[in-house]
Amino acid sequence: MTTEAMLLHYIYLVAIVAEAMSGAIMGMRRGMDLFGLCLVGTVTALGGGSIRDMLLGHYPLGWVAHPLYLAFTITAALVTAMLARHVHRLRILFLLVDGLGLVAFSILGCDIALGVGVHPAVAVVFGMITGIFGGVLRDILCNEIPLVLRREMYASVSLVTGAIYVGLHKLGTDPGEALLMALGTGCVFRALAIRFKWELPGFSGTGIRGFE
């Protein structure tokens, strides 16, 4: 394994832990039991990649080949449940790790899609699917309109990260450099979006009548 691949692998493990924690936190707020927390945490962490692989026909899925990923996400959900009273103090740390996870997921998704041989624009879309669909599934399981559809630059971070990574790849840049540049830009973008509360224009739903 190259240094870049190892780096990305470790970031991936951090990312699925962060995503599993975000799922478990949402589940706790909905009054789920311990099993529910573990399931929602696992779906949040591994769901985006699973949807990507099913859409691509890319088998076996990551967690099917590496069951250890399941141990990571279930442990993360259980630890979150134990630390529930204290976890809100870590909000900023959590947001940063979650942002790192989003960026790492996006790069990994692009990488796998490029490996399957899809068009570069489609690879960026698969990066975004990997990055955000875990959270979409989490919100559907928790009976919410997915947060990513309503607020924040979450998806934009994923698209920009993926576009940089795929673009550099197509320009023939060294894979390690492409990885670091995409990772760095994505994380800075996400941190700025959190800091300055950037948002895309939304629609209040007024003036759109006649479609009852």
- In the region spanning residues 35 to 64, those forming contacts with its own copies, defined by CB under 8 A, are 35-37, 39-40, 50, 54-57, 59-61, 63-64
Site string for its own copies, 152-181 (x = CB under 8 A): ---xx-------------------------
Residue 96 CB coordination number (10 Å)? 16
The CA distances from residue 174 to 118, 148, 166, 167, 193, in Å, are 20, 32, 12, 12, 28
Residue 1 binding its own copies, by CB under 8 A: no
Residue from 7, 13, 14, 142 that binds its own copies (CB under 8 A)?
Answer: 142
Contact by Cβ (8 Å): 175, 169: yes
Total chain residues near its own copies (CB under 8 A): 66
Q: Is residue 201 at the binding interface for its own copies, with CB under 8 A as the rule?
A: yes
Among the candidate windows 4-12, 99-107, 139-147, 183-191, which touches its own copies by CB under 8 A?
139-147
Q: Which amino acid is at 198?
A: W
Q: What span, in angstroms and rounded, lies between the C-alpha atoms of 161 and 132? A: 13
Q: Identify which range of 8-16, 88-96, 167-175, 181-189 contacts its own copies by CB under 8 A.
A: 88-96
Rounded to 10°, the helix 120-141/34-56 angle is: 160
Q: How far is the CB of 169 from its own copies (least distance, A)?
A: 16
> How far is C-alpha 193 from the geometric centre of its chain's CA atoms?
16
Judged by CB under 8 A, the residue of 8, 87, 108, 114 near its own copies is 87
Give me the least distance between CB of 25 and its own copies, in Å please.
Answer: 5
DSSP designation for 57: T
The string of DSSP codes covering 126-152 is HHHHHHHHHHHHHHHHTT---GGGTSS
Q: Rounded to the nearest 10 degrees, how much is the dihedral formed by the CA atoms of 92, 95, 100, 102?
A: -170
Q: Residue 114, interface with its own copies (CB under 8 A)?
A: no
Amino acid type, 90:
L
Is there binding between residue 79 and its own copies (CB under 8 A)?
Answer: no
Whichever of 107 and 123 has its CB closer to its own copies, that residue is: 123
Catalog residues that contact its own copies under the rule CB under 8 A: 25-37, 39-40, 50, 54-57, 59-61, 63-64, 67, 70, 81, 84-85, 87-89, 91, 94, 118-119, 121-122, 125, 136, 140-146, 148-151, 155-156, 199-205, 207-211
